[in-house]
Structure 1
Amino acid sequence: MNKNITCPEILAPAGTLEKLKVAIRYGADAVYIGGQAYGLRSRAGNFSFEEMEEAVAFANEHGAKIYVAANMVTHEGNEKGAGEWFRTLRDIGISAVIVSDPALIAICAAEAPGLAIHLSTQASATNYETLQFWQKLGLERVVLAREVSMQELAEIRKHTDIEIEAFVHGAMCISYSGRCVLSNYMSMRDANRGGCSQSCRWKYDLYDMPFAGERKSINGEIPEEFSMSAVDMSMIEHIPDLIENGVNSFKIEGRMKSIHYVSTVAMVYKKAVNAYLESPASFEAIKQELVDELWKVAQRELDTGFYYGIPDENKQLFGARRKIPEYKFVGEVISYDENSGTAIIRQRNVINEGDTIEFYGPNFRHFETTIQNLRLAETGEKIDRAPNPMELLIIDVPQAVETGDMIRRSGAGLINLYKKEGKVAMANGTH
């Protein structure tokens, strides 16, 4: 292992204040959020200035940082008010802004000195000359384009000492690092100004059109539905390559994901980094456990993006899913009573008496048990089924849990879907 390497930051997404606090509790060293202007996720739970103040205070208490994405492409007039907006972020205590548009970069540098600027992946930085260019302009960090290979990453690191942030987990864009106009055509929503309708995720059909005006679907002859959607990225098995090649920040995609997703993925990558920095052998010993843990959250199929070659047709989503998780997030711990061995939980999905569940918490704590003595927290009434979201319940637990621990209902593991003699078959097993 390279003795000169440093511990990379785990950078998690947060679409809401709740998700931000969960991400930090579960291991994120930094969290990126959106404000109510200049971002690319108009449908995410973007933060008001008051929420940012609370987020910064919470992050400071836990030794974490907050970054704000301001990565839209500005047209004439979009930049109005940006100087005041950036100064407000600086004064609130935001650690850095993530920007792609040179106009916004110039405004931020001139009107909000002291606020660090990180280059967004939207700027498509793919070579070390580009990183050197932005470093000379005063930027502290560059988020690499998702299209950079591991070999290119190594070459970039050899020629520059600017901080490098790289995506390690989450959705891939079918276009070039998010520079897409498909949504503009399909739904009149500008993907580069916060309105992406994710047209690439839609299902499409093939049609036979032998004569003008006639259209006949051939869906019956070709069973797969077609999309332009890429599988998600997961670099959990390749943490050593990323660390050894000098990546300073491991970025997880997903500001619109659930607290179940954010907590699990942040926890797993934090555990992976700590294990590898302890020793390569420590990482290898838990690698499969880390992979299995990631497959407990809802996501698309996983691969390594462009890091080890250009993705082929097998790295696209079409037809039946080949792997799906069989775990569902069902609740979180509100409090634990050591004397009675019971926990008050807030339910998020249906819970039944006798369900097999797994508790998990920060630092990779987890154990399985069954729902026993299920009852309503308000009245103590015993029930067999709790169907109402956000209801407070009491259950018996065989060992101590902590406030903020998560609960998921487990099944028989992963279901692998595969094609056999023209049919889709199902089999339990691991990936």
Structure 2
Amino acid sequence: MSSSAPVSRPDAATPLADWLSYLESIHARPIDLGLERVRAVADRLDIRFDAVSIVVGGTNGKGSTCAMLEAMLLAAGYKVGLYTSPHLIEFNERARVNGEFATDAQLAEQFAAVDAVRGDTTLTYFEFTTLAILRLFARSGLDAVILEVGLGGRLDAVNIIDADCAIVTSVDLDHTDWLGDDRERIGFEKAHIYRPGRPAICADPVPPQSLLDYAARIGADLWRFGRDYNYAGDKQQWSYGGRSQRRNAMAYPALRGANQLLNASAALAALEALRDRLPVPQQAVRLGLLQVQLPGRFQILPGQPAVILDVAHNPHAAAVLADNLDNMGFYPYTHAVFGMLGDKDIDGVIARLGHRIDHWYCAGLSGPRGVTGEDLAARLRAAGAKEGADASISAYKDPAAAYAAAREKAGEGDRIVVFGSFLTVAGVLTYLRDLKAARKA
């Protein structure tokens, strides 16, 4: 595959923004699944961990599970690396060392190291940045490393790491062009982060048979939700029960939403499975779950009208968002800032949320995968979304313009939900950040 690299090659002193532009230019395809190229470069970089490694895959819930694991391990006093993707606003969000985002200088140094050894091997943006962040972690003296799978599992760059423990949070339809169009095919792809003889956590209450068969075939130590571990809760507190460990009388996680106990119990199952190497006392579990933060996952901003940010971008996540909205109580009107990418199941997402929304503000997203606000509005009308005195559908060029319009129309007692893509939430967060800065100036 030919490379179309820029004339001037960046180095460790090059600004991060220039590095990221360079990385977008050096591979012909944004997604190029397969581990041969990335593994070859990883071998040249001699990436190896003394730290305990936990790999987290799944259709939804990966980010929340990773964030809870990080928070609990940090509260227990461990040195922790966390790799997640995509980022919302700044690339640095993808790499956290001991709870702090990696600096521009740290990332540029690692990018230069990867570029220096890759030779004529082409790497996608995701592969290149994954290798750089893995190298950063390998040199940071960490006790534990938490790695979120980017796409699928079997052929994802993160899967070059033989995880000490792997978690599959959920299996549902997303990225069907790459992973297959049914849960059995997708489950097969995700199960490949499991390793023989090592803890393999499955948080999906009804896992596809393909995942169970793969785990059995390789001899993974499969921990199934409902069989090997579970949770119970009332209005005040909840408890976790595993194979040989119970954690009782815990406050609910700081992350809101109906599925967070499922994610939290999967994280606790992983910690139980690893407790000989990473013991975590009960106080650290309590503190970590109370302190955990993750922008864009049913994040409710302070003030009125209520503003909810959620990166839900597939039907499964949209169904969870719908349940969470239903549990919020009564609001006269619900306004939605809605933007999606064209390779997602737009109609499936609309079907899960359609009747809960009174006013739609369709936001265009840029880039080759983006969908215009007008196209989204047309999809809503085709799906039967209402228009009239108390309902509307309007289109805007981007999430910032859509949010500004929603904010103008919404009453104090209403709510605004921003969803459909990481890019939609990021656009609104950036707009709010810039607005705050302008008011201070």
Which entry has the higher C-alpha Rg, 1 or 2?
Answer: 1
**TM-score, normalised with respect to structure 1:** 0.26
**TM-score, normalised with respect to structure 2:** 0.25
Higher helix proportion (structure 1 or 2): 2
